[in-house]
Structure 1
Amino acid sequence: MTIIAYTARTIRTMNPAQPIGQCVAVREGRVLGVGPLEEIERHGEVRVDDRYADKVLVPGFVEGHSHALEGSIWDHLYLGYFDKRDPDGKPWQGVRSPEAVQRRLAEHIHDGSSNEPLIAWGFDPVYFDGERIDKRHLDAVSDQRPIVIMHASLHVMTVNSAVIRLVGLNDMDLEGIMRGTNGQPNGELQELPAMHLVFDALGFDIFDGASSTRALVRYARAARREGITTITDLLNPMHEAAIEAMHTATAQADFPVRLVPALNALAWEPHTGSEIVREARRHNHERLHFGLVKLVTDGAIQNFTARLQWPGYLTGPVNGVWNAPPQTFHDMVQHYHQAGLHLHVHTNGDEAIAVILDALDEALAMWPRPDHRHTLQHVQLIRQDQLKRVARLGACLNIFANHIYYWGDIHLTKTLGFDRCQRLEPTASADRLGIPFGIHCDAPVTPLSPLFTAWCATTRQTAGGSVLGETEKISRARALEAITLGAAYTLRLDDRVGSLEPGKWADITVLDEDPLDSDTPLKDIRVHDTVLSGRPTGEE
């Protein structure tokens, strides 16, 4: 079979035995080798492709924590604080005051049928001073048409009185249904059990929007534009329709990424969930890889729903909200570990991290599993002693580096205070302890862009220009590894992606500048193209 040799100004391989080159050879969709052209020609007839001769090639970016919801959530109204672009490249201006939120809702209140809910997302009330937006503000737009607003973290929603009546929230007693001074629901619902009351009553689940081929294709194309060749859907319902949609989408010849979904563990009884994953793994192929299980413990710090150890929150409530009793998480860790499956666990607050580390400690004592690679996700407030436990247990981390930029200023003044902000997203400490880690964006919570994520990890700069945790900065080289080989390791795919070395899939990101030898901020380096299995995706 013909060998294609892509020449470039520089190739950064992430292979320590061959870290740099000017030519990468591809055969049968895999990397044949990196080296001088004359050495490549020893393998046989070579067709030189110099379309990237003035570019820089790096391994295809691996986004280890994001959601296919990015492909469907833009069907709803954007109410976020920051400016964003949707998967089709359309710009959306952020809304930066309660009045602006009401105006945008009013502009769209008559869109669609009056019997259907008006759904919006991206809302971030923690940025607004003064009284927190609740049902009264939404009722001023309409108290007849149901209005549902998802917060940016996707861990909280705010609804109007029409939804409260429809769901019957007045008569329910459940943690997460927030109440005013009069004891009545104020319209804010915190965490999944409370939010699912609304989804069930209205006959839709916003998290299920990605269970369609259209959403998955939009998601994949948005990822490709940012240089991503392997992407996750880290909370997939994995019911029949979702699995069928993923098979259909990834079977398309021009699907430009590899998709790695994770079962939403809280949606299934554990024995059923593990059987679903085992059965799905039988149908894995090059662009679809089942095998992960996702467990969501606590919420988000900026929503005051993450579970924190003493001294709790700087302002606001004493502590956050569990998505299930801690014993449930303990039992699920035991089950899925014993079943030989790969756990990825959402843990934001240090109390949530402690619960999961205790569960892992016990599971590994009872059922030792070398190289299990269970991964704690986000770990925004992980302590130094907890990092040492992670290292001892052989676990991995996937660190939400973007969080410092988007909410660092809020954590400094409202949620955590100065000292704990210095340890947010402690990538350098993880590195010093030899813990395998990736960094991620959690799209649609923050935008897809591994280079922006890498910039966040190297600068630790907030949107307001402050630097939080100078000693937790990592180098450009380490950040580049975290969005390639590091993330691939946490997904147990580092034998196939994450570096350019013989035998791995020829997945390549093409950049205008060298991320390791340029004065341009990483976030401003342009992605020129991606290559999947040796084929430029721009050829679709």
Structure 2
Amino acid sequence: MTMTTCRSLILGSSLLAASIASAQEIADTVYLGGPILTINDEQPTAEAVAVQDGRIIAVGSLDQIRLHQSAATRVFDLHGRAMLPGFVDSHGHVVMGGLQALSANLLAPPDGEVTDIASLQDSLRTWMEENEAAVKKIKLIIGFGYDNAQLAELSHPTRQDLDAVSTEYPIMIVHQSGHLGVANSKALELAGIDASTDNPPGGVIQRGSDGNPNGVLEEYAFFTALMPMLSGLGPEGMQIFAKAGAEMWARFGYTTAQDGRSSGGVVEALKAVDQAGDLPIDVIAYPDVLESKDYLEAHVSRAYTGHVRTGGCKLTIDGSPQGFTALRDRPYYDPVGDYPENYAGYAAVTMKQVQDSVNWCYQHKMQIITHANGEGASDMLISALKAAQKQYGDPGNRPVLIHGQFLREDQVDSYQELGVFMSLFPMHTFYWGDWHREHTVGPANAENISPTGWVRARGMMFGSHHDAPVAFPDSMRILDATVTRRTRSGDILGPTQRVDVMTALKAMTIWPAWQQFEEETKGSIETGKIADFVILSRDPTSVDPETLDQLRVMATIKDDKVIYQASESDQASSLPRPPLIADQAHAHHLLDAWYEGLNN
């Protein structure tokens, strides 16, 4: 072959490649340089992905994707890190997550430093010192995340314990479950709670031997005390919470969040944050059906307004299993506290309220997501769903069970027959698995809490959630717990309920996308879908499953835009979790804005 002939062939090949590229859609961004897990069974992995105008235009080999490149195409080099579809929140409370991010951290290790009542008091005092100006301005102290199950005393703090921190300011600390809390004497006084105050429907005011409130408030007793303290928050304050919560979700790889017990005012605050350009991720809100019917009728939609939409109705039947307020079908195994013989918890609502709420959502063809933790609560929900489907048929509304911590196998069968999507909470196996085994359900039944194995044996999809601010929206902790079911003590709780890594990843991506009617646009890396991605430090399918909780979220990408990127120090750190707020100065700025909103 002559040199002239070679040059002609090279020129011809170049012209052919140029003509092919010109006929293709040209990408704004190409992602390559590391393992890409698509969560698409028909094409599980890829070498590269091309994106244009925030949508995926090609997924395939390097040679295929290069056809979509031009000189203007940005190349995102993964540098050996793994890319997956952005995580979809199966259940959480993104706005109240902002409260968690801005209040005193009362969590136990590894997420905090509280191990006993003395360290809880120290954490409150430290937070007060660090935010002295704000505390003096608004005269309110909030702490989040204490857990009596993890305190050395194995008991709730009392109002006297909080009075030792301050009698000048009201203090309200929120239990990690979000279903109960403790008030100091000043907060009880402001809430109008004393020895003569009756328990409200669906709530309990715990009392000492003298009959006076000891500061511990359960369910609606807690909600009715906390909400007035935050009533001065106003729209601006709620916007601060929404912004802080959305930033925290993004730092853990979530590109779609849920606000799982919302209100019209909260949804409007989310929209205002989005319109200001400060909402980095999509948020789907589910207002409380008992309180927000008018708003629901006017706003439920499958279409987003910016990054926000109202997805349907939320109903809460019972409370917290670790706090012994979930409704069981049998007595708790060994509850810690002053409980009557054969105590089995209680419902926060009546059966009539459950049936009326489910009927209303079916009548209006709205999706209903229902918090039901105990077997007794699931019995109520199953009965209501059966009656509603008999009366209204199946409107295609994909009803969702939230939590389902304690279930009988016949209840899983019923949920399958009713077409219920189960959003489960296997992360509980880490945080409270030992507590469940020893105190709530006992060693035999504890094996089957959050029964993902039963669900998969029936071929059902499920979602795996964090319920933040009950726990941090820690995606790698969810992944680890769903696969290993390791408890804090290192035991495996229910080995037959474990699932493989890919199943656990589907429960954080494509299946919750289906849960929320977004499987055509999210949850997998496929042509035509939104360019929502998360970059992990390593491929979760290639590491020892026992190290899954050590993986790091290195970057979160929404609509082809990087909305979170780990700092150099974060990337070098051996700690598996990012900070909740971008930096301390930013945290103080948000706190000042929150308190300014309260003060006004």
Are the equivalent residues in 2 in contact too, given 1:177–1:190 (CA < 8 A)?
A: yes
In the other structure, the counterpart of 1:368 is: 393
Using the alignment, how far apart are the partners of 1:501 and 1:178 within structure 2?
53
Could you tell me which of 154, 158, 164 is aligned with 1:134? 158
In the other structure, the counterpart of 1:54 is: 80
Note the alpha carbon deviations across 1:234-287, whole angstroms, 9 max, x for none. 122222xx333212322455743211111122333x4x2432433xx3972352
Using the alignment, how far apart are the partners of 1:199 and 1:42 within structure 2?
58
In the other structure, the counterpart of 2:592 is: none
Aligned pairs for 1:216-227 (under 5 A) are 216-227=242-253
Using the alignment, how far apart are the partners of 1:416 and 1:434 within structure 2?
27
Quickly say closer, same or farther: Cα 1:367–1:35, change in 2 above 3 A.
same
Using the alignment, how far apart are the partners of 1:26 and 1:403 within structure 2?
37
Are the equivalent residues in 2 in contact too, given 1:64–1:398 (CA < 8 A)?
A: yes
The alignment partner of 1:72 has SS state of helix
User: What amino acid maps onto 2:103 in structure 1?
Assistant: H
In the other structure, the counterpart of 1:87 is: none
Shift of 1:113: 3.1
Could you tell me which of 193, 199, 210 is aligned with 1:182? 210
**Does residue 1:212 correspond to 2:231, yes or no?**
no
Using the alignment, how far apart are the partners of 2:235 and 2:164 within structure 1?
28
Could you tell me which of 476, 481, 501 is aligned with 2:526? 501
Aligned pairs for 1:50-89 (under 5 A) are 50-52=76-78, 54-68=80-94, 69-84=96-111
User: What amino acid maps onto 2:521 in structure 1?
Assistant: R
In the other structure, the counterpart of 2:414 is: 389
In the other structure, the counterpart of 2:148 is: 125
The alignment partner of 1:169 has SS state of coil
Using the alignment, how far apart are the partners of 2:539 and 2:116 within structure 1?
40
Quickly say closer, same or farther: Cα 1:210–1:153, change in 2 above 3 A.
farther
Using the alignment, how far apart are the partners of 1:107 and 1:6 within structure 2?
44
Could you tell me which of 259, 262, 285 is aligned with 1:233? 259
The alignment partner of 2:361 has SS state of helix
Are the equivalent residues in 1 in contact too, given 2:31–2:50 (CA < 8 A)?
A: yes
Aligned pairs for 1:124-203 (under 5 A) are 124-128=147-151, 129=153, 132-170=156-194, 171-174=196-199, 175-191=203-219, 193-199=220-226, 201-202=228-229
In the other structure, the counterpart of 1:88 is: none
In the other structure, the counterpart of 1:333 is: 358
Are the equivalent residues in 2 in contact too, given 1:262–1:291 (CA < 8 A)?
A: yes
Aligned pairs for 1:300-311 (under 5 A) are 300-311=320-331
Aligned pairs for 1:221-370 (under 5 A) are 221-239=247-265, 242-252=266-276, 255-268=279-292, 270=293, 272-278=294-300, 281=301, 284-285=304-305, 287-316=307-336, 317=339, 318-369=343-394
Shift of 1:107: 5.1
User: What amino acid maps onto 2:555 in structure 1?
Assistant: D
Note the alpha carbon deviations across 1:462-484, whole angstroms, 9 max, x for none. 01111110100000010011111
Are the equivalent residues in 1 in contact too, given 2:148–2:154 (CA < 8 A)?
A: no
Which has the larger Rg? 2
The alignment partner of 1:57 has SS state of strand
- Most deviating of 426-435 and 119-128: 119-128
Shift of 1:533: 1.8
Are the equivalent residues in 2 in contact too, given 1:166–1:201 (CA < 8 A)?
A: no
The alignment partner of 1:294 has SS state of strand
In the other structure, the counterpart of 1:9 is: 34
Are the equivalent residues in 2 in contact too, given 1:115–1:145 (CA < 8 A)?
A: no
Shift of 1:290: 1.9
The alignment partner of 2:378 has SS state of helix
Using the alignment, how far apart are the partners of 2:33 and 2:410 within structure 1?
44
Using the alignment, how far apart are the partners of 2:181 and 2:119 within structure 1?
18
User: What amino acid maps onto 1:74 in structure 2?
Assistant: A
Could you tell me which of 542, 557, 560 is aligned with 1:517? 542
Identity within the alignment, %: 28
User: What amino acid maps onto 1:395 in structure 2?
Assistant: V
Using the alignment, how far apart are the partners of 1:308 and 1:496 within structure 2?
38
The alignment partner of 2:541 has SS state of coil
- Most deviating of 390-399 and 287-296: 287-296
Structure 1 unaligned blocks of 5 or more: 85-92
Using the alignment, how far apart are the partners of 2:355 and 2:324 within structure 1?
23
Note the alpha carbon deviations across 1:372-399, whole angstroms, 9 max, x for none. 2111111111211100111111110111
Using the alignment, how far apart are the partners of 1:375 and 1:424 within structure 2?
18
Shift of 1:143: 4.2
- Most deviating of 194-203 and 169-178: 194-203
Using the alignment, how far apart are the partners of 1:115 and 1:527 within structure 2?
36
Are the equivalent residues in 2 in contact too, given 1:296–1:323 (CA < 8 A)?
A: yes
Note the alpha carbon deviations across 1:33-68, whole angstroms, 9 max, x for none. 211243346668683614225232211111221222
User: What amino acid maps onto 1:532 in structure 2?
Assistant: K
The alignment partner of 2:309 has SS state of coil
Shift of 1:455: 0.7
Quickly say closer, same or farther: Cα 1:429–1:80, change in 2 above 3 A.
same
Using the alignment, how far apart are the partners of 1:48 and 1:76 within structure 2?
40
Are the equivalent residues in 2 in contact too, given 1:210–1:216 (CA < 8 A)?
A: no
**Does residue 1:96 correspond to 2:115, yes or no?**
yes
In the other structure, the counterpart of 2:570 is: none
User: What amino acid maps onto 1:284 in structure 2?
Assistant: Y
Note the alpha carbon deviations across 1:130-186, whole angstroms, 9 max, x for none. 654322322344445322111111100111222333333233212411222333222
In the other structure, the counterpart of 1:479 is: 504
Using the alignment, how far apart are the partners of 1:211 and 1:63 within structure 2?
24
Shift of 1:487: 1.5
The total of aligned residue pairs comes to 524
Are the equivalent residues in 2 in contact too, given 1:372–1:394 (CA < 8 A)?
A: no
The alignment partner of 1:267 has SS state of coil
Shift of 1:341: 0.8
Using the alignment, how far apart are the partners of 1:435 and 1:220 within structure 2?
30
- Most deviating of 433-442 and 4-13: 4-13
Quickly say closer, same or farther: Cα 1:383–1:43, change in 2 above 3 A.
same
Are the equivalent residues in 2 in contact too, given 1:408–1:421 (CA < 8 A)?
A: yes
Using the alignment, how far apart are the partners of 2:235 and 2:116 within structure 1?
28
User: What amino acid maps onto 1:245 in structure 2?
Assistant: A
Q: What's the C-alpha RMSD, in Å, of the aligned pairs?
A: 2.6
Shift of 1:71: 1.8
Alignment TM-score, normalising by the size of structure 2:
0.81
Structure 2 unaligned blocks of 5 or more: 1-24, 567-600
User: What amino acid maps onto 1:303 in structure 2?
Assistant: G
Are the equivalent residues in 2 in contact too, given 1:397–1:437 (CA < 8 A)?
A: yes
Using the alignment, how far apart are the partners of 1:394 and 1:141 within structure 2?
50
Shift of 1:201: 4.8
**Does residue 1:113 correspond to 2:136, yes or no?**
yes
In the other structure, the counterpart of 2:50 is: 25
Alignment TM-score, normalising by the size of structure 1:
0.90
Shift of 1:539: 8.6
Are the equivalent residues in 2 in contact too, given 1:2–1:27 (CA < 8 A)?
A: yes
